Structure 1
Amino acid sequence: MKLMNKLLGAIVVSLTCSVAMAAGSSYPLDKAPPKLNDQAALQNGAKIFVNHCLNCHSAKSLRYNKLRDIGLTDQQIKESLLFTGEKVGDMMTIAMTVQDGARWFGAAPPDLSVIARAKSINAGPPGGDYIYTYMRTFYRDTTNATGWNNLAFPNAGMPHVLWDQQGPRELTSTLIHQVPKDGKMVWEKLTKQYDAQGYWTAKAETLDNYSGPGGETHTFKALDPKKAAQYDKDMGDLAAFMTWMAEPVQLERKKIGVWVLIFLGLFFVVAWRLNATYWKHVR
C-alpha cells in the first residue's frame, strides 16, 4: 500500500511539473481555436510561417512538398512559398548557421519543426495553446534590449516581429500582494501601465480591510481593435499550422484510431457471443 501511494505521488508530481514546463511561466494559456481540420486556416498559417518565421527559425523536419497534405499544389508552393531558389522537395532550412545565430542573437534561434509537441510534454496543455498565447502577449517595454517583453515568456530574446500586423496596444498589470508597513503586513494594489511606446508608470495604493485573494492580472487595450482582431485570427491559423507541422500524420492517425476502436468493439461482441456458445453445453 505504501509503495502504491509513493507511485501515485510520483505520478502527480510528474504531471504537475509537466504542466508548468509546458506553459513556460505562471501566465495562464489561452485556448487556441480548433482549426486542424480547416485547410484554409492551415494554408494561411503556412504562409505566415514561411514569410515571417522561416527567416530566423528553420523547420528541418518538414519538406515543402508535405504541404500538399493541407491542399496546396506544387505550383502554389512554388509561387507563394519559395523565394530563393529552393525546390519543392527541399527541407525548410534557412541560410543562417547555428554559429551565426549564436553570435548575432546570443543564442541560435531554435528549429520549430516540433516546437508544438515540445511545449505539450506529457499531461501539459497543448503546444498550440502556448504558441497562440505567446504570439498574442508581446508588449512594448523600453527597459528590455529588444524593446519588447512577453507575458508567456518573460524577457524573451525574440522581439515582436509581427507588431505591425497587430497594431499598437497598451498593457495594464495589476498586482495585489502583502507588504510590510508600520511593523505589520498590509494588502497593497500595485498598478503598472505600459503605453504603446513601451514607457511605463506605476501606482501603489493600500487596500484597507481587504480579504480577497492576492495575485496578478494583465489587461491589453488595442488601439486598433479591427487590426488586433485580424491578428488574433491569423495567430490561431499559425498555431494550427505549427501544431500540424509537429505531427503531419496526426489527423490520419486519429481517423485510423477511431476505426480500430470500432473494430475492437465489434470483435469483443463476437468473441463474447462465441465464448457463451462454447461454454453453454459445458455448464
Structure 2
Amino acid sequence: MMFKKLIATLLIGLGLAGGAQAAGGGIEWDKFPREKMTDTAALQNGAKLFVNYCLNCHSAAFMRYNRLRDIGLTEAQIKGNLLFAGDKVGETMKVSLDPKQAKDWFGATPPDLTVIARSRADASKGSGADYLYTYMRTFYRDETKATGWNNLAFPSVAMPHAMWELQGQRVAKFADEPDPHDHNKTVHVFKGYEQLTPGKLTPAQYDEAVADLVAYLQWMGEPAQGERFRLGVLVLLFLSVFTVFAWRLNASYWKDVK
C-alpha cells in the first residue's frame, strides 16, 4: 500500500510538471547551487522553512520527523522547533488540511512533496532542484488569478506565493515583440519585475533561503544520497589502490617468464 501511494505521488508530480511546461513553453531554469547539498546548516534551515511555509498545505507522507537527525538535528531540537502540537517525533510529516477543502480553495489538491524534487527533472532544462529553485523565485502579483498570484515557471499555477512576506510583493512587466520565427505575429516577452512592497529579506537573502529550502527538498527525496556518495568515493579509492597492487604483483609474477 505504501509503495502504491509513493508511485501515485510521483505520477501526480510528473503530471503537474507536464502541465507547467504545456502552460507556456516555460522559461529557462536557473541553476540550483549544489554546494548546498553538503551544507548541514543550509539543510537544517531548509527543514525549518519547509515546516513553516510548506507543511501547512503540502504533506511529506514518506518522511518521518526523526529522520532529520541525519542532517544534524537532535531529537530535542526537532521536538522544540519543528513539531506541531500533538505530533510525535516518529510520525510522518502529514497535514491536517482536508483534501476536499483544498481542492475547493485552490482548484487542485496540493501534492505530497516527499519526492517532488525527483519528479520535476527535465532532461532538456535541468534537474528537479533547478526547477524548484526557479519556481520559488518567480512568483508575481496577478489580480486576474483566483489566488492573486502567478508564476513564470508555472503559468496560471493554483498555488499562492507562500513565502511572499520574505520576498515582498512585485508585478511582472511584459511587452509584445515581433515573433522572430514569424514576423506577422507577436510574442509576449517578460521584461522584469517591479517591486510593490519590500520583503523581510533582501533579494540575495531570499535567494539563499530558497536554495536552502530546495536543498532540503532534494535531500528529502533521497535521504541516503549523501551516504551513498561517500561510500561510492571510498569504493573508488579502494579500487584505485587495489589496481596499483594488482599491477605490481602481476609484474613481479611474470618478470622471470621469458
- TM-score with structure 1 length normalisation? 0.73
Match for 2:222: what amino acid? E
Question: Residue 5 of structure 2 aligns with which residue?
Answer: none
User: C-alpha separation between the residues in 1 aligned to 2:234 and 2:19?
Assistant: 31
Question: Residue 79 of structure 1 aligns with which residue?
Answer: 80
Change (3 A) 1:124 1:260: farther
Q: What RMSD in Å do the two structures reach over aligned CA positions? A: 2.8
CA distances 1:214-262 after superposition (whole Å, capped 9, x unpaired) = xx44422435385333322211111111111111111111111111111
CA contact under 8 A between 1:65 and 1:74: conserved in structure 2?
A: yes
1:1-283 correspondence to structure 2 within 5 Å? 24=21, 25-33=25-33, 34-120=35-121, 125-178=126-179, 185=183, 216-223=189-196, 224=198, 227-283=202-258
CA contact under 8 A between 2:172 and 2:190: conserved in structure 1?
A: no
In structure 1, list runs of 5 or more residues that go unmatched. Answer: 1-19, 192-215
CA contact under 8 A between 1:22 and 1:125: conserved in structure 2?
A: no
User: C-alpha separation between the residues in 1 aligned to 2:126 and 2:83?
Assistant: 33
CA distances 1:13-48 after superposition (whole Å, capped 9, x unpaired) = xxxxxxx96984431111222311222221111111
CA contact under 8 A between 1:146 and 1:157: conserved in structure 2?
A: yes
Partner-residue secondary structure (3-state), 1:173:
strand
Partner-residue secondary structure (3-state), 1:165:
helix
User: C-alpha separation between the residues in 2 aligned to 1:244 and 1:82?
Assistant: 19
Match for 1:27: what amino acid? I
Question: Residue 12 of structure 2 aligns with which residue?
Answer: none
Question: Residue 213 of structure 1 aligns with which residue?
Answer: none
Change (3 A) 1:273 1:90: same
Match for 1:28: what amino acid? E
Identity rate, percent: 52
CA distances 1:99-153 after superposition (whole Å, capped 9, x unpaired) = 4433443321110001111112667622221111101101111221221111101
Match for 1:220: what amino acid? Y
Aligned length: 235
Shift of 1:97: 4.3
- TM-score with structure 2 length normalisation? 0.80
Match for 1:275: what amino acid? N
Q: Which has a greater percent of helix? A: 2
